[in-house]
Amino acid sequence: MDTGLKTHILPAGAAATATAAGVLAEGGLVAFPTETVYGLGADAGNAAAIARLYQAKGRPAFNPLIAHVADLGAARRIALFDGQALRLAEAFWPGPLTLVLPKALSCPVAELATAGLDTVAVRIPAHKVARDIIKAFGGAVVAPSANLSGHVSPTTAEHVNGDLAGRIDLIVDGGPVEVGVESTIVGCFSDPVLLRPGGLTRAEIERVLGHPLQSPPADAESDAQPIAPGMLASHYAPRTPVRLNASDVHVGEALLAFGPVKVGRRECASVEMNLSERGDLAEAAANLFGYLRTLDTRNADAIAVMPIPEDGLGEAINDRLRRAAVGR
Binding site for Mg ion (CB under 5 A): 145
Please report whether residue 144 would count as binding ligand TXA according to CB under 6 A.
yes
Residue nearest to ligand TXA (CB): 230
If one counts every other C-beta atom within 10 angstroms of the C-beta of residue 285, the result is: 26
- Given a contact cutoff of 8 angstroms between Cβ atoms, the answer to whether 298 and 239 are in contact is no
Rounded to a whole number of angstroms, the minimum distance from the CB of residue 273 to ligand TXA is: 23
Report the SS3 class of residue 218.
helix
Q: Of the two residues 121 and 269, which places its CB atom closer to ligand TXA in the complex?
A: 121
DSSP 8-state symbol, 63: S
Q: Of the two residues 122 and 275, which places its CB atom closer to ligand TXA in the complex?
A: 122
Rounded to a whole number of angstroms, the minimum distance from the CB of residue 65 to ligand TXA is: 5
25-44 binders of ligand TXA (CB under 6 A): 34, 36-37, 39
Q: Which of 43, 132, 182, 319 binds ligand TXA (CB under 6 A)?
A: 182
Question: Which parts of the chain fold into alpha helices (H)?
Answer: 14-25, 47-57, 72-78, 83-92, 111-114, 128-137, 157-164, 202-209, 281-296, 314-326
- Given a contact cutoff of 8 angstroms between Cβ atoms, the answer to whether 132 and 41 are in contact is no
Please report whether residue 314 would count as binding ligand TXA according to CB under 6 A.
no
Please report whether residue 65 would count as binding ligand TXA according to CB under 6 A.
yes
188-227 binders of ligand TXA (CB under 6 A): 195-196, 227
Q: Of the two residues 145 and 201, which places its CB atom closer to Mg ion in the complex?
A: 145
Q: Of the two residues 49 and 100, which places its CB atom closer to ligand TXA in the complex?
A: 100
Q: Which of 17, 63, 84, 274 binds ligand TXA (CB under 6 A)?
A: 63
By a kind-dependent CB cut-off of 5 to 8 A, residue 98 interacts, out of ligand TXA, Mg ion, none, with ligand TXA
Site string for ligand TXA, 225-264 (x = CB under 6 A): --xxxxx---------------------------------
* Rounded-to-integer distance, Cα 248 and Cα 257, Å: 11
By a kind-dependent CB cut-off of 5 to 8 A, residue 228 interacts, out of ligand TXA, Mg ion, none, with ligand TXA
Please report whether residue 321 would count as binding ligand TXA according to CB under 6 A.
no
- Given a contact cutoff of 8 angstroms between Cβ atoms, the answer to whether 245 and 263 are in contact is no
* Rounded-to-integer distance, Cα 143 and Cα 33, Å: 11
* Rounded-to-integer distance, Cα 232 and Cα 269, Å: 30
Report the SS3 class of residue 300.
coil
Question: Which parts of 192-301 fold into alpha helices (H)?
Answer: 202-209, 281-296
- Given a contact cutoff of 8 angstroms between Cβ atoms, the answer to whether 231 and 221 are in contact is yes
Tell me which amino acid residue 110 is: A
Rounded to a whole number of angstroms, the minimum distance from the CB of residue 115 to ligand TXA is: 7
Q: Of the two residues 38 and 81, which places its CB atom closer to Mg ion in the complex?
A: 38
Q: Of the two residues 119 and 145, which places its CB atom closer to Mg ion in the complex?
A: 145
Burial zone of 165 (CB within 10 Å; 0-12 exposed, 13-18 middle, 19+ buried)? middle
By a kind-dependent CB cut-off of 5 to 8 A, residue 170 interacts, out of Mg ion, ligand TXA, none, with none
**Pairing label, strands 66-68, 141-142:** antiparallel
Please report whether residue 119 would count as binding ligand TXA according to CB under 6 A.
yes
Nearest to 198 by CA among 291, 96, 292, 95: 96
Rounded to a whole number of angstroms, the minimum distance from the CB of residue 276 to ligand TXA is: 20
* Rounded-to-integer distance, Cα 142 and Cα 113, Å: 7
Interacting residue ranges for ligand TXA, rule: CB under 6 A:
34, 36-37, 39, 63-66, 98, 100, 114, 117, 119-121, 125, 143-145, 182-183, 185, 195-196, 227-231
